[in-house]
A and B are shown apart, each in its own frame.
Chain A
Amino acid sequence: MNILAKIFNASNGVHPPEHKLESTSLPIQKVAVPERLVLPLRQHIGNMPKVLVKVGDSVLKGQLLAEANGTVSAAVHAPTSGTVVAIDEQVIPHPSGLPDMCITLRPDGQERWVAHDAMDYRSMDRVELLRRLRQSGIVGLGGATFPTHLKLSPKGTHPVVTLVLNGAECEPFITCDDLLMRERAEEIVLGAQIIQSLLGAVECFIGIEDNKPEAAAAMKAACEKSGFAAEVGIVPTLYPSGDARQLIRLLTGKEVPADGRSTDIGIQCFNVATAQSVYRFFAHGETAVSRIVTITGNVARPGNYEALLGTSVDDLLKAAGGDLPNTDGYIMGGPMMGFTLPSSAVPMTKAMNCVIASTPGLFPPPAMEMPCIRCAACADVCPVSLQPQELYWFSKSNNLEKALEYNLQDCIECGCCTYVCPSHIPLVQYYRYAKSESIAQERAQTAADQARVRNDNRLARIEREKQERAQRNALRTAKADTGGDADKQAAIQAAMERAKAQKEGVTPQNTENLSPAVQAEIAGIDALRGDMTSTAPTTETNS
C-alpha cells in the first residue's frame, strides 16, 4: 500500500549530538490544570486578534476569547473553564523579552466544555469551512505558527498536488513530534487525509528522520490501517532536514524558488502536530487549547508533556520533576535555532515545542573568537549553499550591499555554519545583525523619501501662497486704479499673467501624486520585511 519513498540527494547540514533519548523513555504525560493560565493574544504570525471578553467574565473550555482579525490572524480560545482575571501586558516567550497583550484566566477546575461538534468537511460549504478554521485558533505547531486556514487556501496560480507532512524533527533534544507520531499516528494520518482533500492534493509524503524508527513504523501502520496512500520517506538524520524547503527537496527532488513559496511548485507542507489538530477540530470540534511540549535538559524527569496553552514554564518544569542544580537558564526550541527565555514565568504558547533547562556543561560558553581562516567548513555545511565566510566578511565590515548580493536574505539562520566554524565565530549573529541593519536602512530610506515629499509639498505650498498674495496685490492695485491709464492696465494684466504662469509652473511640483509610488515602495519594503521574518527562524522549519 504505502511505498517507502525514494529520498533525493541528501543536502548539506550537520549532525550534532541528538540528545533525543533523554526525553523518549516516558510516554506523553498530562500536566494538571494549573492555577493560572496566561494567553498571549499573538501566538501566531500576523495581526493581533480582537478580544471578545472582559475582566470578570466566566468562560468555558474552548470558548472564543479573541477572534481572528484580518486575513493573517488566528483566534485565541479558553484552554479550560474559569474566569478572566486580567487583560494586560505580560512577559511572553519571545527573544526580545518584551511584554505583549495577554488574557489571564483563573481556571475553575471543572474543565466544562463549550458546545462543540464534529463537522463533516466533505459536505461542508468551503467558505464556511475556512471561516470556521480561521476561528479555530489552529496554527503551524512546528514553531512557525502560521495560521493553518491560510495554508489550506493558498492563493497561488498553481494547484497544490503534493502534501508534505513534516515529521523530521531534526533539532537535537526535541521529541514532541516523535512521541506524537508513536502514540497518535492514526489521528495524524486522519488529519493528513482531511488536509489533502481540502487542498485537492493527489499525493502525500511523510518525512521522518531515520533516528525515529518507532514513529516511522507507527505512521506506516496508521496509513495502512486507514487506507491512506501516503509515502513515508525516511530521511537521513542531518540537521536541518526538517526545514520545510529542505524536506520538500529530500522527498520530492524539487526546490522551492528562493523568492517564492512551496505552493508555487504545487506543494504544501504541514507539521504532523498541525495535522493532528486539524483532525481534532473536525472530528471533535476541538479548538486549539493544548499542545505537547518536550521538557528536557537538566530536569528530573525529561519527557513530553501535554499541557493547556498558557501553562507557565514553571508549572511545566514542576511537572517534569523540577530542574536539577546548576541550571543556568531555559532555552525555548532546540539548541540550534532556539532562544533563551526571558524568564521561567512565561506561559507556554502554540509555538513552544521544547524547553531545555541548560547548564554550563550542556552548553558551554563559546570559546574565544579567532579570525576566519577561510577553511570553508561553513560553506560545506550550509544547506542553502551560501558562502558564509563571505557573508561574515561583508556583514562585519557593514558592506550590506555586498552581503545582499551574496544572498544574505536566503540565509535561514539554521546555525550550521556557526556549529562547524573552527574559529568559533558566531556567524549567525553577524547575519541577524546585517539583516536587521538592512531592514533599518530600507526604513530610513523610506523615511527620507517621505520627508522629501513632505518638504516638496511645503515648498509648493509656500510658493502657492506667494502666488496668491501676488494675485491679491495685483487685484488690489487694479481696483485702486480703476479707470487708470492703459499703461497701468497693461502692467496689471502682465502681473496677473505672470502670477498665473508662475502658479501653473508650480502646480506640477505639488507632489501629492507621487505618494502612490512612495506607498508602493513602503508596501514593497513591508513585503520584504515580512519575507525576512518568514525566512527567519519563524518559518515552518525545524521539528
Chain B
Amino acid sequence: MKYSPFFTSNTSVSIVMLKVLLALVPGIIVYVWAFGSGILVNLIIGSVVALLAEASVLQIRRRPVLPFLLDGSALVTAWLLALALPPLAPWWLIVVGIIFAIVIAKHLYGGLGQNPFNPAMIGYAVLLISFPAVMTLWPAPLSLTAAKLSFLDQWQYIFSRTLPIGVGMDAMSSATPLDYLKTQLTMSHSMEQIWQAPFFGHWAGKGGEMVAAAYLLGGLYLVQQKIISWHIPTAFLGTLALMAGLFHFINPGHFAPPTLHLFAGASMLCAFFIATDPVSGPTTPNGKLIFAAGIAVLTWLIRTYGGYPDGVAFAVLLMNICVPLIDAKTQPRVFGHNS
C-alpha cells in the first residue's frame, strides 16, 4: 500500500499454469480412452519426480521452496513431457527426461523465467537421442489390440517390463502414422496403399487424431482465457497446413496430406502448449508469428526428410535459439513514433 498502482488484477503465475494444466485435461481423457491408462502412470511419475527435482534444486539454490513449487511451472513441464513420451515406456525414461528438463534445462539457466530453451523439449530431445529404441515404441490404439491390459498390468509393465502370460508386446505396439508413412514411402508404396493400414483413422492416426482434437479444444480455451495469444497457434498450424498442402498438391503420391500433419504427432500439442511457452518464446506479436511459422517449416522438413519420426521438439529448440534476434527485430512501433 505504498506506490501506485495500488491494486492489481487477480492473476498469478500459479493461476496461469493451472489453466494450462486444466486445458490439457480433455486431451488426457481422450488419450486414456484411446490408448489405455498407461499415460496416467507416466503423468504421475513425471509429476512426482518434477516436484521432487524442483524442490531439491530450490533448496540447494536457497530459494523459497513453497512459492516456487506452487507456481505450477514444474508440473506443466512434467505433463508436457509425459504426454510426448510413449505411454508404456519404462519408468526410468520419464525420470531421466524430467530430471534433465528441470535441473539442467531450467535451473542451471537460472530457474523460472530464465531458461532460453523449452525444458520439456530439451528433456524430449535428450531421450530421443539417447534411447531411440524405447522412444519409438508406441502402443497401438485399444480398438486395434486383441489383448487389453488392465491399469495394474500397465503399471507392472512400465516398472518391470513383464506382461501377462500370453501377451506379447508386438501385439500391443504399432508404428506411429508419421513413422509408418515415412518407411512405407521409402519402400515406394503408394499413398493409397499406405493409407489402407488399419491404424489410420479419419485424418490421421486412429485415436491419435481424437487426442489431437481434444488438445485443440483445450488450446482454444487458453486463447479464450487470454493465457496465450492467437498468434502462435494460428501461424504454426497455418504454415504447417500451407506447406504440407502445397507439397501434397504437387505430388500427392509422395507427400502426406496436410490433415495428417495437423492431427498426427505432436502438432496440436505444439501449437497450443509447447510453442506457446512464454519463457522460451518471443514476446512481440510479429515475433510470435515468425517464430511459429519457423517451427512449422522445420517440423515439416524434419518429418519429411529427417531421420526422426516427429520434428516438433527439434524445430522448437532450433527456433528458441533465434528468439532474442526475432524479438529485437520485431519491436512494435511505439505510440507517437514513426515506424
Residues of A bordering B, CB below 8 Å: 11, 14, 16-17, 245, 249, 255-260, 328-329, 331, 333, 335-340, 358, 360, 362-368, 370-377, 379-380, 383-387, 389-390, 406-407, 410, 415, 418-424, 426, 428-429
Contact = CB atoms under 8 A, between A and B. Distances in A.
B279 A374 contact: yes
Residue among B4, B335, B336 facing the most chain A CB atoms (10 A cut-off): B4
A339 B4 contact: yes
Contact of B283 (A256, A362, A389): A389
Interface stretch (B97-105, B108-116, B189-197): B108-116
Interface stretch (B241-249, B294-302, B326-334): B326-334
Given A373-B278, A374-B279, A329 B12 contact: no
Contact of A340 (B2, B68, B71): B2
A374 B113 contact: yes
A374 B283 contact: yes
A424 B113 CA distance: 14
Contacts of A375: 16, 278
A364 B2 CA distance: 11
A371 B336 contact: no
A355 to B, nearest CB: 13
Interface string B272-295: 000000110101100000000000
Contact of B278 (A370, A374, A415): A374
Contacts of B333: 385
Nearest to B8: A419
A363 B337 contact: no
B278 A410 contact: no
A258 B335 contact: yes
Contact of B334 (A364, A380, A386): A386
A385 B5 contact: no
A423 B222 CA distance: 18
B152 interface: no
Contacts, number: 141
B15 interface: yes
19 contacts: A255-B335, A257-B337, A258-B336, A260-B336, A328-B1, A335-B7, A338-B4, A340-B1, A360-B1, A367-B12, A370-B112, A373-B16, A377-B11, A379-B332, A384-B336, A415-B5, A420-B9, A421-B8, A428-B5
A331 B6 contact: yes
Nearest to A95: B3
Interface in B12-49: 12-13, 15-16
Given A376-B278, A422-B12, A415 B336 contact: no
Chain B contact residues: over half helix, strand or loop, or mixed? loop
A390 B278 CA distance: 14
B223 to A, nearest CB: 13
Given A363-B6, A384-B335, A385-B333, A420 B278 contact: no
Contact of B284 (A255, A366, A379): A379
Interface of B: 1-9, 11-13, 15-16, 64, 67-68, 71, 73, 111-114, 226, 229, 278-279, 281, 283-284, 327, 331-337
Nearest to A363: B6
B118 to A, nearest CB: 12
Closest 5 CB pairs of A and B: A258-B336, A415-B5, A371-B113, A376-B283, A335-B6
Contacts of B16: 373, 375, 422
A123 B15 CA distance: 65
A410 B8 contact: no
B337 A370 contact: no
B13 A415 contact: no
A338 B337 contact: no
A360 B229 CA distance: 34
Contact of B1 (A333, A358, A421, A423): A358
A255 B338 CA distance: 10
B4 A428 contact: yes
Contacts of A374: 113, 278-279, 281, 283
A372 B5 contact: no
B335 A410 contact: yes
